[in-house]
Structure 1
Amino acid sequence: MTHEVTNQAPPRVDVDEYTLNAPLVEAVRAFGAEWADATLRDAGGLVGSGEFQADAERANTHEPVLRTHDRWGRRLDEVEYDPAYHRVIREAVARGAHTSAWLEPMPGSSVARSAMFMLFAQVEPGHACPVSMSHAAIASLHEAPALAAEWLPRLYSRDYDPRLLPAAEKPSALFGMAMTEKQGGSDVRASTTSGEHIGGDEYAITGHKWFCSAPMSDAFLVLAQTRRAGGDEGLSCLLVPRVLPDGTRNAFRIQRLKDKLGNRSNASSEVEFDGTVGSLVGEAGRGIRTIIEMVQRTRLDCVLGTAAGMRQSVAEAVWHARERSAFGRRLVEQPAMTAVLADLALEYEASLLTGLRLAQLFEADASDHDIALRRLATPVAKYWVCKRGPHHAYEALECLGGNGYTEAFPLARRYREQPVMAVWEGSGNVIALDVLRALTREPDVAEAFAEELATTRGASRVLDAHVERTLGLLRSLAGTDTDSAQAQARRLAGDLALAFQGSLMLSHAPHSDAEAFVAARLGDDRGAQYGVLPTGTDATAIVARH
């Protein structure tokens, strides 16, 4: 009888991950993408199926393998993925998780694409890296009309072909990027990669990139110090195809794959360029300016990916607690556990609303106000939400007890996955300093942010007091020296983020849930850990909604 399995939760498979996620369904409608409901329901059923979840697990346990040479010693520079990885990314591309917002720029298209992206990233996050970079690269390609005419139809395609072929022989494409180097890291201006002009808009690139994710992508945006006969041009953005038009492989020497903490299904590599051909994107010497809009959109996807991970954590923790009993009651019925689950759910909903409101600011018809707001809201959201991800995953993991700590359950993988969103596209200090940079260089962003917060003025005394303090801190830092302002950059970024989230919760979440969130994060009796909720919070109702 000791081998009879009782009091264990059944596998959480064959569920509709969209319809069961009430906060996501409501937010999609609130932010103008209700027309995508049927498509999102279809995707929710797919990613919640046992087959898809098995592919997600297999893609992470059968990791990419680097093949530098063939048996005769010829360079291959190929990464071999398990077929499960290709099935996952094929389904995401087929449903437009990469570029649908660009292809069909109707009202709500950015929100719909973001919701689709989150559904897939919730179950298998590694493939989301090339999906995100392909989405974001289009912003930079608009700076090069000839390259855009060649590549955009392929990026818009819903087909997926993993083979390395000349662009003319493929109906579809995925993009990556390679910016950081070992001596510079986030300081991309310290790049030593060079590009010598060889005619037209083409350069021969020499250098080494320390991080290049998804190296089997069809093309990459790369930063290099370019030169022409007349002298140095400065740091420029170049498009590097994996295969040249004549069918020969571009020089793209994959030195090794990174042995990462998480994100195991996705290959990240070091790459050497040796006479590698690249074409100029945008204006020579203005590479940062050219690539910055791509960076803004990948930062958006870091927020979305973190929120998607929070949803997986909440869903798995609640599922376990509803099925598991201890000390005479189901775990979900025990007040201490209910409070933890409810708090995790509130954190997820605030992050979801942050991500989709941010996505709304990137719609094709975004106003000047929206553009100003997103310039500040993007680093603010990226800083805070991505910082919250790892702790959130850990607390959810603990809800499963020992099971959560094993690789047989998905939350151990999620715990290892969440930090990548905080590191990718700028770690904490880089992002906090970008908040200061936005405020210094673009004075209208502070006014736009204040106007956003003013939409809920009077709805919460606690939030109003926090907003007043935060805007006061913002004004005071504007008059201090650079070092003093930088020392307070994290405080300001976090305070702005909580003000933004509190306002969004009051606008879109059930009123009692919003009040609980604001009090738990900003109230006088707030706690440092999850599960410390204001007295009187209906934690059971919050958990039921999630």
Structure 2
Amino acid sequence: MTKPMDLRPDALAATHEVFNQSTALENHNLFAGDTALREGLARHGGSWAEADLQRYGEVCGRPDVIEWGYRANEFKPQFDTHDRFGHRIDLVRYHPAYHELMKLALTEGLHSSPWVDPRPGAQVVRAAKYYLHSQVESGHCCPVTMTFAATPSLQLTPAIAEQWLGKVHARDYDPRNVPHMEKQALTIGMGMTEKQGGSDVRANTTRAYALGAGGPGEAYELVGHKWFLSAPMCDAFLMLAQTERGLSCFLVPRWRPDGSKNPVQVQRLKNKVGNVSNASSEVELRGALGWMVGEEGRGVPAIIEMVAMTRFDCMIGSAASQRQATLQAIHHAAHRSAFGKTLIDQPLMQNVLADLQLELEGSLAITLRMAEALDHLDDAQQQLLMRLGTAVGKYWICKRTPHHAYEAMECIGGNGVMEDCILPRLYRDAPINAIWEGSGNVQALDVLRAVGKTPAVLDAWFAELAKSAGADARLDRAVKALQDEFVDLDEAEYRGRHLVDQLALTMQAGLLVQAGNSAVAEAFIASRLGGLGDRQYGTLPRGLDVRTIIERGRQDA
């Protein structure tokens, strides 16, 4: 007989043993592991909510919640203009994961909590919770933010506020494509820009015609278009349109009070580089019903109440992106070895990781300080600080985030470029906040406009910086140089970005000094105000306590 073949694999054939790889960053508490956030919460008046944020930090680190973010981006929104019988429905269909994220956000009150319960520190706490939530997935946060930001605008017209705010503030989520009268919870969107104008909304051509006497709270018919209308399944939108007295603001519902479809007709969904879980659309207004919000001809001041809040949330969202990117990079470096040593123990990697954490520390510091100012808008000084702070913070944090995401991706290497890693999504989403709600140039011009119209905003800014005067000679010199630059505003528009850069950097440095962690403040000032000029991440000067800085961002899971 023939001897049976030995089919056992040779030991040399076992080539695939997985080792020296990082682990999935899940089953961890996003709040408990964030030293900068916990310290900032206490510093700015939000300690009363620490237990709730500990609970929610655990929620945001759950594997199933993290998975919702992946699925909502993998399965993009789909659009149906009509149903199978030929009725116009303008229906955007989302993956169930998107609805889970929306339900989570709204039941947690991320769209309404400071308006419903405006206790001291309410805005700080809401910012902290939104910061945790945004780290899971950012696209669905767009309608959450717009709903949150709509309240100040809707309050300009008491009759509208009385009818709508109860349902807008409700801690519930109803995604059905039915009239708002049939729902107990509503979301609000915004439509400002048109093809021909973009940020120049005064060039808008959409017209509004009074159906009766006209004026605040009265019904109008809108005819025109909107080039960008994000989250088109919101129940109503704040829109700008021209009347005989100029650009005015209107609340335009998706359905008329009689239950018929309001002709807010979606033409197509935008094919975006990022923010893909959130549908953005172009719409035609073919005689759409709307009610005037605020005074006639005062549409920009009316809707700017909303824009100020959306810009603030851009700061939070981009800081959250920086946190998640830094967290992923540090976690990877703690679990990966190369050239005989763990990455996190290698000096050059320490330089990069500490630099990423420093960027986040500055971003979070100015964001939480503006949240505190928002909690005290009955104080004139805080109102002035907020007026400049949202433009400066939105400009700086959002513009710094794309490169920050890339650098974190490089720390992870090849695995960081794979779509089953969160870094590619963070990288694609990062430019969105920088461009939407006013791009970098728009923010810089807004700062100059505020300084020219209300010089006291600069006084409030430098008064805040004065709280850290004398702590560091380099910071003092930078503040003095900035004050000198504002004395001579010749060619100010040309220098606009430079001026806003320095407003942001000096404020971040000053706030970090006030925060009291000497390792962080020293490293931030040495690298950002120490005369190093243009620099890449990972070029921190010698003599800094980088290990302490990295540990502030480290969270093993």
TM-score, normalised via structure 2 length: 0.95
Describe how 1:146-157 pairs up with structure 2 within 5 A.
146-157=159-170
Of the three residues 378, 389, 400, the one matched with 2:390 is 378
The letter of the residue matching 2:240 is: L
- Whole-Å separation in 2 of the counterparts to 1:386 and 1:127: 18
Corresponding residue of 1:333: 345
Match of 1:541 among 548, 552, 555: 548
The structural deviation recorded for 1:426 is: 0.5
- For the pair 1:293 / 2:305, whether they are aligned, the reply is yes
Asked whether 1:485 is paired with 2:492, we answer yes
- How far is 1:99 from its partner? 1.1
Deviation at 1:170, TM superposition (A): 1.2
Identity of aligned residues (%): 49
Cα separation, partners in 2 of 1:509 and 1:217, compared to 1, 3 Å: farther
Separation of aligned partners in 2, 1:434 and 1:486: 10
Any conservation in 2 of the 1:106–1:364 contact (CA below 8 Å)?
A: no
Alpha-carbon shift at residue 309 of structure 1 (Å)? 0.2
Task: Please report how far the alpha carbon of residue 199 of structure 1 lies from its aligned counterpart in structure 2 after TM superposition.
Answer: 1.8
Partner residue, 1:182 = 195
Residue matched to 1:205: 222
1:392 corresponds to which of 404, 418, 423: 404
Aligned partners of 2:519 and 2:548 also within 8 Å = no
Counterpart residue number, 2:451: 439
1:43 equivalent in structure 2: 56
Does structure 2 conserve the Cα–Cα contact (< 8 Å) formed by 1:122 and 1:312? yes
Aligned twin of 1:451: 463
275-284 or 399-408: which moved more?
A: 399-408
Contact 2:377 2:383 in 1 (8 A): no
Residue 320 of structure 2: aligned partner = 308
Q: How does 1:128-527 map to 2 (within 5 A)?
A: 128-200=141-213, 201-226=218-243, 232-363=244-375, 366-477=378-489, 480=490, 484-525=491-532
Q: CA deviation at 1:531?
A: 1.0
Q: Which runs of 4+ in 1 moved over 3 A?
A: none
Equivalent pair of 2:519/2:549 in contact (CA under 8 Å): no
Q: Secondary structure in 1 aligned to 2:550?
A: helix
Deviation at 1:75, TM superposition (A): 0.9
Please give the per-residue CA displacement for 1:414-449, whole angstroms capped at 9, x wherever unaligned: 001110010011001111000100000012111111
How far has the Cα of 1:10 moved from its partner? 1.1
Give the distance between the partners of 2:182 and 2:84, measured in 1 at CA. Answer: 26
Cα distance between partner residues in 2 of 1:88 and 1:371: 33
Paired residues in the alignment total 536
Report SS of the residue matched to 2:493.
Answer: helix
Moved more, 500-509 or 421-430: 500-509
How far the C-alpha of 1:509 sits from its partner, in A, is 4.9
Task: Give the AA of the match of 1:187.
Answer: D
CA distance in 2, matches of 1:332, 1:510: 22
- Pairs within 5 Å for 1:6-85: 6-85=19-98
Q: Write the distance in 2 (CA, Å) between the matches of 1:373 and 1:313.
A: 29
The answer to whether the Cα contact below 8 Å between 1:63 and 1:265 also exists between their aligned partners in 2 is yes
- Note if 1:104 corresponds to 2:117: yes
The alignment partner of 1:383 has SS state of helix
CA offsets 1:505-538 (integer angstroms, 9 cap, x no match): 1111511211110110110346611111121111
Cα deviation 1:35-64 (Å, max 9, x = unaligned) = 111111111111110000111100000110
Indicate conservation of the 8 Å contact 2:376/2:383, yes or no. Answer: no
Q: Deviations over 1:323-379 (max 9, x none)?
A: 011000111010100110011001001101111111111115541000011111111
Rounded to whole Å, the distance in 2 between the matches of 1:404 and 1:21 is 22
Normalising by the residue count of structure 1, what TM-score does the alignment of the two structures yield? Answer: 0.97
Matched residue SS, 2:109: coil
Shift of 1:70: 1.1
Q: Deviations over 1:295-346 (max 9, x none)?
A: 1111111111000000000110011000011000111010100110011001
3-state DSSP class of the match of 2:247? strand
Shift of 1:488: 0.6
Query: What letter matches 1:375 in structure 2?
Result: R
User: What letter matches 2:37 in structure 1?
Assistant: L
Q: Deviations over 1:203-259 (max 9, x none)?
A: 110111000000000110000002xxxxx1210000001112221111111111111
Q: Deviations over 1:59-107 (max 9, x none)?
A: 0001100111111222110100000000011111111111101110010
The structure whose Rg is larger is 2
In 1: Cα distance, 2:17 partner to 2:484 partner: 62
Q: CA deviation at 1:165?
A: 2.7
Q: Over aligned residue pairs, what C-alpha RMSD do you find?
A: 1.0
Check conservation: 1:255, 1:272, Cα contact below 8 A: yes
In 2, the alpha carbon distance for the partners of 1:54 and 1:92 equals 15
Does the 8 Å contact 1:526/1:532 carry over to 2? no
SS in 2 for 1:35: helix
How far residue 155 of structure 1 moved from its aligned partner, in angstroms, is 1.4
Unaligned runs of 5+ in 2: 1-13
